[in-house]
A and B are shown apart, each in its own frame.
Chain A
Amino acid sequence: MLNTISRTLAPGGLRDETRANSIFVKGFEWFGDLGLFCARVFRAAVAPPSELGELVRQCDTIGAKSLPLVALAGAATGVVLSLQTHDALTRFGAKSLLPAVIVFSIIKESGPVITGLVVAGRVGAGIGAELGSMKVTEQIDAMEASSVNPYKFLAATRVLACVLMLPLLTLAADFSGLIAGWLANTLADPISFRLFLENGFKNVLFSDFIPPTFKTAVFGFIIGIVACFQGMRTKGGTEGVGRSATSSVVLSSLFVILADVVLVRLIQMVWG
């Protein structure tokens, strides 16, 4: 106790405490502003007119253009899983379980999380930098001056596109992961793809597949809202744009991981 008081009263201690308070207050403010931003985006999203054209364009940018990277990341995960578990299962005499291990790992966790993180990197940075650049060059002001709500046209469409595209990208990551896992397994122990799938999916239930795939819609919401928020509050010219892009990736990746922990527990509680 005395130590704490003396540390606080010492000039360095006071500075540390002030800095800690300032960081705490800023963190609190950030969450408050994010909440207000979510409310504005939600209000804008449900108000007419619909921005279907822009939504389709964003689905293409976020979904179709992320597909190669997501598929590659999924495939790499499948290969690594196959290589890593093959030896271990052989050692315990459970080699026949390899397809099931790969299928379960990919569809329940690796596929969704890899997709979330890859999209957080690619799309988060893209949205943060694009909206940040629009903010510092007054394009967002110009849009508002033209009587167009930027929260609807820019933010709501991007957030919704992320929500819609993440589960589809997850399916692509799962699919390429399974194919690559089978290929890596076949190089060591030849097995037909049909048999691999039969063994792998023998004990898979819909509840093993549907909730983990659709939880990525939450990842999509997090990536979209955080990146739009960081982009639309950019200050300070090109340096600010860089900061927004970086913070969009860092924060959305962090929140995707944290959300995954919560969602996995929630899914276990609901579906067992």
Chain B
Amino acid sequence: MNKEWDAPPIVIDDLRKTFGDQKVLNGISLRVEHGETVAVLGRSGTGKSVLLKLIIGLQPSDSGTVSIEGQRINDLDANQLNEVRKKVGFLFQEAALYDSLTVEENVAFPLNRHTKMADADRKERVRELLESVGMEQDLEKMPSEISGGMKKRVGLARALALDPSILLFDEPTAGLDPITAAEIGTLILDFKQKRKMTAIVVTHDIRGAKAFSDRMALIHEGNILAEGPLAELQESKHPFVTQFLKESS
């Protein structure tokens, strides 16, 4: 059996990160199984986005380890890390589309870089990806010409371009109106069901997280304070967990 398939897609062990005097992550451990979607919750500034960046090595951790499909990313050189990153799609908080490229070029960017597809095949693949997020009509538009929700859709299409087995979402519904947020939530749920992808979703949106996640992890003061399905969290007697769930619902 394939060794990579045996290993859990994401294993985080005792991860710590400090910025100056501020301890952001203070020994986070989390394991995500195949096809599982974990929602990471917590107050603003508790290091949820930092956690995602540490997972794919965009920032170095102070200590602790992250393993992606059995490979400890802390031990990899730049080329090996790039190979691991190809297995991971990342949807950034503001989508992070390249300003100077059109919607089509944004989605084609990873394909241009990492595949040897013929032009026609690449165009077809980009069209398919944009169709899957409902953006096939806006191929020629620049990122500045589309709304925040549309940017997130394009960002999602770009994150899916290399057919990753793992997806990381940083606040996919933040700053969107409730209808657009629900549409993005539905897209995540669709992809989860159709592609059986493993995902970590950083979000404040408990209602959305309830719909698309299998498990939730609540970060507080640099640690995971509570972990499990929403029903389990709701039974927690910890004052912060109770308050967080009450204020968020």
Contact = CB atoms under 8 A, between A and B. Distances in A.
B229 to A, nearest CB: 29
Contacts of B56: 145
Given A138-B93, A141-B53, A146 B99 contact: no
Contacts of A147: 82-83, 85-86, 110, 113-114
Contacts of A142: 90, 92, 96-98
Contacts of A50: none
Nearest to A139: B96
Interface in B133-158: 158
B88 interface: yes
A99 to B, nearest CB: 45
A149 interface: yes
A206 B78 CA distance: 46
B240 interface: no
B185 to A, nearest CB: 22
A143 B56 CA distance: 12
B125 to A, nearest CB: 15
A137 B85 contact: no
A134 B99 CA distance: 8
Given A144-B58, A145-B85, A139 B90 contact: no
A138 B82 contact: no
A141 B96 CA distance: 8
Contacts of B114: 146-147
A83 interface: no
A213 interface: no
Contact of A141 (B58, B78, B99): B58
B113 A138 contact: no
A141 B58 CA distance: 7
Contacts of A139: 96-99
Interface in B50-84: 53, 56, 58, 78, 82-83
Contacts of A143: 98
A234 interface: no
Interface string A126-153: 0000000110011101111111110000
B94 interface: yes
Given A133-B99, A144-B58, 9 more contacts: A137-B94, A137-B96, A139-B98, A141-B53, A141-B58, A145-B58, A146-B109, A146-B158, A147-B110
Interface of B: 53, 56, 58, 78, 82-83, 85-86, 88, 90, 92-94, 96-99, 109-110, 113-114, 158
Interface of A: 133-134, 137-139, 141-149
18 contacts: A137-B94, A138-B94, A138-B96, A139-B97, A139-B98, A139-B99, A141-B53, A142-B90, A144-B85, A145-B56, A145-B58, A145-B85, A147-B83, A147-B110, A147-B114, A148-B109, A148-B113, A149-B78
